[in-house]
Every structure is written in C-alpha cells, then in structure tokens.
Structure 1
Amino acid sequence: MGDSAGGERTVTDDAGREVSLPEDVDRVVAVGPGALRQVAYLGATDRVVGVEDGERDWIRTVPYNMANPDLRDKPVIGSAGPNAGGNAEEILSVDPDVIFFYGDDSRAETLQSQTTTPVVSLQITDLGGETTRTGIYETWRLVGDVLGLDGRADELETFVEGTIEDLHERTADIPDANRVEAYAGAVSYKGAHGLATTRKRFSPFAYAGVDNVAGGVGTDSPSVQISEERLLEWDPDVIFVDSNNRDRARLDLDSETLDGLTAVSESKVYTLLPHASYHHNYGSILANAYFVGVTLYPDRFSDSDLSTTIDSIFETMLGAPLYDDLRDTYEAHRRLDDLDG
C-alpha cells in the first residue's frame, strides 16, 4: 500500500491518489463525516491535535466521542457537516503531519494545496455485505499504514467478521417461511427522517437472519422513502426505529392510518441505537443486530447476555464499555410503548 525512501514514504489513498508522507506520523486531524471515527477505531485518538466543532456539541453522544471525551478539548479546525472541508488556517495552527479526509476528491487536493500538508482521502461505507465490508477493511488498512498500526487494522477485521459469523450461525438453519418479517424505520441518512425512511439493505436484519420487508424495493439507493400504503401492505410482524428519530416515528405511528399495523396493535415496535450519526456507527450496527436477534429469536440467543456481548463490541472497537451509557442516552433497545411520549 505504501513505499518509503529516506525520511518520506508514499501511500495510495482510497481515491487512488499517491500521497507523500513523513516516515513517522504523530500529529493528525480528520475532516469530514466519519473520518475521525476511523482514527478512533485504530486506537489513535492520542495523535489527534484538532477536531471539527461538532465534537464539542452534537457529536458528543456518538460512540467514538463518548469513548474518547478528551477529543472535546482539542482545538477546532473547522465546521462539522455533510460538506465539511476543514478550515485551512485553523488546521495550519495545529501543525498536523497528516490530514485524513472524507469528501469530494477535488476538495482533498484543494486542502492539501492550501495547507501544504499531506491529505489522505478515505472511502467510508456501511458495513453491509462481504463486498462492502472489504472496502472499509481496506480503509482501516490504509489508516493503519499511515499510522504504523497495521496489526490493529487486521485485528478489527478479524473481530467484525467473527462477530457477523456468530450472528449468521445462530439463525442460518431457520427456514425462510419461519423467519420474522420486520421493518426498520426512521433511519437517519444525511439528517433526521420519519418512519417512511428505511433501508433496502439493513445490516442488523441481514446479520440476525430477519426478513426485511423493504428488501424487494426496486432501487439501489442506500436510503428509501416508502408510502404509508406500502407499509400497510407489507404489515411487518415487528418494527424497529432509529432512536435518534423516535419522536418523528411515534408521530407517524400515532396516525389513524397506521393503527391497523400488526406491530402497532401488538406493541412490537422497538428502538435501536442510531445506525448512522455523522456517518455509520459500526459498533452500534453490530449491537443492534444482537438486540434484533435476542428480541425476535430468543431461543437462538439464549446463551448470549446482551449487555456483556455489546460491551465487548464497544470495548474491542473503541476501548470502552459503552452499552449502558448509550442505551440510557438514546433510550434505545426498548419497546417504544414503554417510553414516555
């Protein structure tokens, strides 16, 4: 992935750009949705010398920030948001060795020119299926190569694949006719959404062996808007909603039109940890898969203590047992009817 000569080396980033780096990278910043999260997964937040302003505000409850609260005290190097591009002057003031960047490739070139600092462009995706996961593993290896933490990147890949394999094995022999049909609603995508926003490919369902009623929607878009009529037609056994948007989902579910849904009448609507907050929360996606599995197939997960399992996920990926804090912060992994509305 990289070549070295003298005191410098070259890596090829996820945009195919060849970037010259110093041999040792001790000071970094990360710009754009999900960029800093990848540094946190590699266990290298001690090298971060500046952060986007959201780390002090609305990103405080995102898992990687909760696991690394010292990030909130770092100097600000730009505004957070879907079009974040970093502030060149503020970045220069903290003197990083490397800038990790997620966003438009042309902006990466501009930022590198403005700061005369190597900019490494990252490709960040959902965990998804095997092919999609290969992409994020390559990104982890790239970040690991830049930081000299190749072994950590391999460790993360092994852990994620082992976790997904465990989930698959628990439900693999359930006949299709016996699989629970479920719907994931109010799933964030570049902002907050109501019940009608779902995913054709919803990783927690795929990993836990659940039949996603939206799986047959004819689109390749990662986020899908469906009508109330379509949801009534599907009439899923169970509904899960993103806890970031549960109030929006509750308003939608309280409509007279949706009162007839089986999941509503039988009080089988549950909240999940946010699937995405400033890009995808990989630990939360795996945690949600276990909650879905325990909720829908309790006999298949009877040997798994949910709290212990999920704490292990966050400890391995982010270095801290976050489950109780996350569950309380978001009122997640609960029945919606049990929450104050």
Structure 2
Amino acid sequence: MTSGKNKLIALFAVAIVVIAGVVIFTADNSKDDGDFTVTDMRGRIVSIPSNVDKIVCLSAGSLRLVEYLGAADMVVGIDKEDSNVSKPTYYKGTYHIAFDVKGIANVGNEENFKAIKDTGAQVIISSATDVSKLDDLQDKTGISVVGIDAGGNRGVASDELSKNLKLLGKVLDKSDRADQLTNYIKDTIKTMEDLSKKSTVIKDAKCYLGGMFFYMKGGLYKTTGNLDPFSILGANNVMPFKEGNPYDTKVQEVVIANPNYMFIDSITIDATKKQFDDDKELLKNVDAVKEGKIYSLFVDRFYGINWESELMNLYYIGSVLDPKVFDYNVDEKMQSVLYMFYPGIGLKLSNIKDKQGPGAGVLDW
C-alpha cells in the first residue's frame, strides 16, 4: 500500500514538472515572438510586433499624432490627402509645415491593400470609424491595424486625445513622449482654468467663432458650439452645441446671439472678410462689431484638429478676454506650445503665420 502510494506521489511530481516545463516553454516562446496586444480606440484587440519602425498613416489625425510623438521617421506610407502638397489649403495643417512628406509613398486610402502592403509597414494607423473597414484592411494586408479616434469633437481637452497619444505611445515605443505631452496639455489647461477663476469679467464674455473650415467650405458663418478654448476659460459660446464637425449658421442667428467678442479662424480669412463686408449693415448692431472686438485665431482644424493651435488660441483668447488676469507674453506662450508639440525642429510662429494667414491678432474690420 505504501509502495503504491509512493508511486502515485512520484507520478504526480513528474506530471508537475512536465506541466511546468510546458508552461515555461510556452512563456519563453511568447516572449521570443516579441508581440504584445493593445485595445485600440475602436475597442479592437490588436497584436503589435515588437520594434516597430515602419508605419502607414491613414485618414484624418493619424499623421499629426505620429508627428507629435516624434515618430515621423517611421512613416513609409500616407493617404492621398496628406500627400497632396499642391492643394491650396495643404499647409493649414500645422503638421504639414513641420514635416516634409516628400519621398513618402502615397497609398491612397484604406482600400488600396496592395499599395499599403508594398510599403513593408508593420503597423497601419487609421482614424476610420467603420470597424469592418479596419478589420478588412488588416485581413487583406496581414498588417496590424490600430484604430484611433480623431473625430470632430475631440478637442485638446478631450479624453480621446490623451488616450490616442497613450495608445500610439505604446504601439510605437514612445510612451515616455506620450506621457510628456499629455502631462503638458493637462498642466496647461489646469493653469488656464485656475487663472479664469480669478477673472470677474470672463463670465460676461459672449464669444462667437466664425471662419471655420470643413470639407473645403468655410466662411464667416461656418462655426461650432464646441470649442475647447472657450470651454476651458468658462467663456460663453453663443452658438449651440452640435455633435460632430463645424456647421453653418446664418447672419440672423449671429445678430440674435449678439456676441461681444468675435473670433475668426485664419483658414479662409479673405473669404470670411468678404462675407463680413457684404453683411456689415446687418451686423452693425452686434456688440463685437460696434466695439471693434474682432480677432483672428490660428487655424483650428484642417484634416482633423490642429490640437497645438487650440492651446495657442487658448493663450490668446485668455489675454483678450481679461488681460489683467492673463498677464503674460502671448507670443512666448504660443511659441512654447510649438516647441512642445514639435520638439527639435525649431518650428516658429512666423513659419505658421507665413503658411496659414494672420494667426492670432486684432482685425481692423
């Protein structure tokens, strides 16, 4: 009986060793493969190869985020929008000024499987909203596809922006940079929120943003009810919130809203000025027009949001609404934003103004 019991114990011990060996072997095998998984912004679990050094960026916001992370040198393929340097509005995207796409393959879009595969990329980054499109792209190319969320309401203060940065930081081995940038954004917003609490006049600010741009259309009445700089400062945006991207309002609605500050996006400043002049008789009793409180801003969005511009505009708008509280050198603050978002390349405010229009300043309209 004792002998049988000893045999059973021995067999059990051997089984443990064998199982342990299998477990250890399996774990080592997985480590050798070097793969890890992420859950992307569309809720998809994606396997990522280690040591990624070649990527393709597709749809709005992808290339911009990759540049923010200092990973532009990894890009081997971009879509037709980011490739079209001859487009008159091309440099309205600040990231297009910061990074020269010459020599980068134009792969068209998410449906051009062969062109994408031919780049030799290990990861594709796309902001396409259709999960089936992302899955199909991954299946047809055999390349890991990471979905990001860069939609119209994903402003600089949004959780989505920080999540996008952290996700891509992990995928591209740029987590330290992602943390640096997300902390900078968070700290800047907190500083401005704290300053706004000291202001006794911001609560009375009724602000309108015109001249926005969406799908090649802009003008004075292209606006949004969702602008992070207004929200962060606690200023009243006179336009109603609507889910999604910039929308069209009418001159009558602006007159009724009666903003005492008008801000104009620089992206189509000439066309916006013409509309303003055409409707000047109708707008003449609007407080902002009567008091000459009309100002230009850096381009808020072009093929996605210029998130660095939102922080630059935040500094400027604060200084306009309450210069006593927001008492700082505005140009220095805005320049510091560019240095943080595009480190090491010496991008200047003057470069942006040359390519995008007047930037932030008073408009003599």
Aligned position for 1:245: 268
- Give the 5 Å matches for 1:30-69: 30-56=57-83, 57=85, 58=87, 59-69=90-100
Task: Name the % identity.
Answer: 27
TM-score scaled by length of structure 1: 0.87
Aligned position for 2:210: 185
Gaps of 5+ in 2: 1-29
Are 1:231 and 2:286 an aligned pair? no
Aligned position for 1:20: 47
State which drifts further: 117-126 or 274-283.
117-126
Gaps of 5+ in 1: 79-83
The whole-number CA distance in structure 2 between the counterparts of 1:327 and 1:167 is 24
Give the drift of 1:220.
Answer: 4.0
- Spell out, residue by residue over 1:185-243, the C-alpha distance to the aligned partner (whole angstroms, 9 max, x if none): 122234422222222121111223422222xx364455343322221122211101111
Are 1:204 and 2:229 an aligned pair? yes
* CA pair 298-150 structure 1, distance change in 2 beyond 3 A: same
The whole-number CA distance in structure 2 between the counterparts of 1:26 and 1:86 is 23
* CA pair 5-314 structure 1, distance change in 2 beyond 3 A: same
Aligned position for 2:342: 318
Q: How many residues align?
A: 324
Aligned position for 1:81: none
Give the drift of 1:86.
Answer: 5.3
Aligned position for 1:300: 325
Aligned position for 2:307: 282
The whole-number CA distance in structure 1 between the counterparts of 2:163 and 2:203 is 36
Give the drift of 1:73.
Answer: 2.9
The whole-number CA distance in structure 2 between the counterparts of 1:178 and 1:137 is 28
Contact 2:259 2:288 in 1 (8 A): yes
Q: 1:73 aligns with which of 98, 103, 108?
A: 103
* CA pair 44-219 structure 1, distance change in 2 beyond 3 A: closer
The whole-number CA distance in structure 2 between the counterparts of 1:163 and 1:204 is 11
Contact 1:312 1:321 in 2 (8 A): no
Contact 1:179 1:209 in 2 (8 A): no
Give the drift of 1:178.
Answer: 5.3
Contact 2:156 2:311 in 1 (8 A): no
* CA pair 106-127 structure 1, distance change in 2 beyond 3 A: closer
Are 1:148 and 2:173 an aligned pair? yes
State which drifts further: 222-231 or 112-121.
222-231
What RMSD over aligned residues (CA atoms) do the two structures have, in Å? 2.2
Aligned position for 2:38: 11
Are 1:172 and 2:202 an aligned pair? no
State which drifts further: 191-200 or 26-35.
191-200
Report the AA paired with residue 352 of structure 2. L
The whole-number CA distance in structure 2 between the counterparts of 1:195 and 1:277 is 16
- Give the 5 Å matches for 1:265-276: 265-276=290-301
Report the AA paired with residue 350 of structure 2. D
State which drifts further: 174-183 or 230-239.
174-183
Aligned position for 2:160: 135
Are 1:98 and 2:123 an aligned pair? yes
Report the AA paired with residue 76 of structure 1. N
Report the AA paired with residue 259 of structure 2. P
Contact 1:168 1:207 in 2 (8 A): yes
Contact 2:263 2:295 in 1 (8 A): yes
Aligned position for 2:19: none
Report the AA paired with residue 306 of structure 1. V
- Spell out, residue by residue over 1:40-59, the C-alpha distance to the aligned partner (whole angstroms, 9 max, x if none): 11110111112223334143
TM-score scaled by length of structure 2: 0.82
Give the drift of 1:181.
Answer: 1.6
The whole-number CA distance in structure 1 between the counterparts of 2:114 and 2:268 is 36
The whole-number CA distance in structure 1 between the counterparts of 2:172 and 2:66 is 9
Q: Secondary structure at the match of 1:299?
A: coil
Q: Secondary structure at the match of 1:201?
A: coil
